[in-house]
Amino acid sequence: MNAPLFIHAWFRSGSTWFWTKLRQDSGIRAYYEPLNEELAVWTPEAIRHGPTKAFEGDNHPPLEKHYFYEYLELIEQRRLLFETSLSYERYFLAPEEEDPVLERYLANLIASAQENGLRPALCFCRSQMRALWMKRRFGGTHLCQIRGPMDQWLSFGRHAYFKQRTLLTAFLLNRRHPGCLESLSGFRELYRAWQTGQSFQYRDQDCLEIFCVLWIASALQSLAASTLILDIDRLGADTILRAATAEDLRLAGLPHDLDDCRPPVATDRPDLRRAVEGALARAATLISTTSHRPLLPPADDAGLSGKLAQLSESNRAFLAAALPKRS
């Protein structure tokens, strides 16, 4: 069964934990973050002998081989076809849009695995708002992986990269869809400074507001595309759900031992919880208004309500608040 598998996750959501399981399956070629901009700079020598940690304190499972080892053959033969513009410039793609560069790149990864008799697993951290586009182009099995926004936001604090890339994703999204984020507090000034090449500093609260919009829109888009769901907060706490999800993975021919799903849970901080919940409520209001409907998946996705039911109570509530209310 060599049909491609697409994992749609985001930074600090447990994606490396699940990718490691896929990598250990001898019948799968598990590509780590196929849209990671660093793919453009790694050489074969560096991949063979480079570090097996992303950064100090990354909290990733221990690795024996470099994160990008699965790309080694294509990089050596100069057949990777990756371009750095693929990482963020078109983070949102409607299913009917054309992107021949991205289509050619992903088709090449899939074919390379299949030609070696392996099932391709593309484990993304930058794909959620183009998950429906990928499903239309490539079919396959799609899995949505979600982590609760408060713990994920706190984990973003482990490295400046995550907040910086959140801002970059938002700026490029707003450039392609003018005005879609400009009602956010502080966004317009940051966006104009970025557009004109000025240096700027951002407040954590401004970045949090942007993060919450992207968290909701990204999760809804990837849920709409997916038949398998990993809500790692609920999996870590609910043994019945964990057993049911393991069975779904087994039936899909995937690694299914989830007993080590133990995502770190932040010590409850009422001030931070209020800030995150307030930002999520404002993000849901923004996304649900008519002018921002393009950020939502198509309204005819009849299975979305059932997919929301598989999430933790809090994650389900955050996402449902952004959906248009039925009359």
In tens digits, the chain (327 residues) has pLDDT values of: 689 999 999 998 989 999 999 999 999 999 999 999 999 999 999 999 876 655 556 566 778 899 999 999 999 999 999 999 999 999 999 999 999 999 999 999 999 999 999 999 999 999 999 999 999 999 999 999 999 999 999 989 889 999 999 999 999 999 998 888 888 888 999 999 999 999 999 999 999 999 999 999 999 999 999 999 999 999 999 999 999 999 999 999 999 999 999 887 766 788 888 999 999 999 998 888 756 666 788 765 558 888 999 999 999 999 999 987 754
Helices (H), the chain: 15-23, 44-49, 72-76, 100-115, 131-138, 149-156, 160-176, 187-195, 204-225, 232-237, 239-251, 270-288, 304-308, 313-320
Q: Report how far residue 152's alpha carbon sits from residue 104's, in angstroms, rounded to the nearest whole number.
A: 32
Are 30 and 82 a contacting pair, CB within 8 Å? no
Domains of the chain: 5-320 (3.40.50)
Q: Give the C-alpha separation, 30 to 320, whole Å.
A: 32
Q: Which of 154, 103, 140, 144 is nearest to 230 (CA)?
A: 144
Determine the pLDDT at residue 290: 58
- Specify the pLDDT at position 108: 98
The closest of 255, 266, 267 to 230, measured between CA atoms, is 255
- Cα separation, 74 vs 78, in Å, equals 6
**Residue 118: what pLDDT?**
97
Residue 305 has what pLDDT? 84
The amino acid occupying position 248 is D
Query: What is the DSSP secondary structure assignment for residue 276, as one 8-state letter?
Result: H
Number of neighbouring beta carbons within 10 Å of residue 61 = 14
The per-residue pLDDT for 291 is 62
Do strands 119-124 and 141-146 pair parallel, antiparallel, or not at all (unpaired)? unpaired
Give the amino acid at 211: F
Q: In whole angstroms, give the CA distance from residue 203 to residue 222.
A: 28
Record the tokens describing residue 99, joined without a space: 């992107």
pLDDT at 278: 95
**pLDDT value of position 223:** 95
pLDDT of amino acid 272: 87
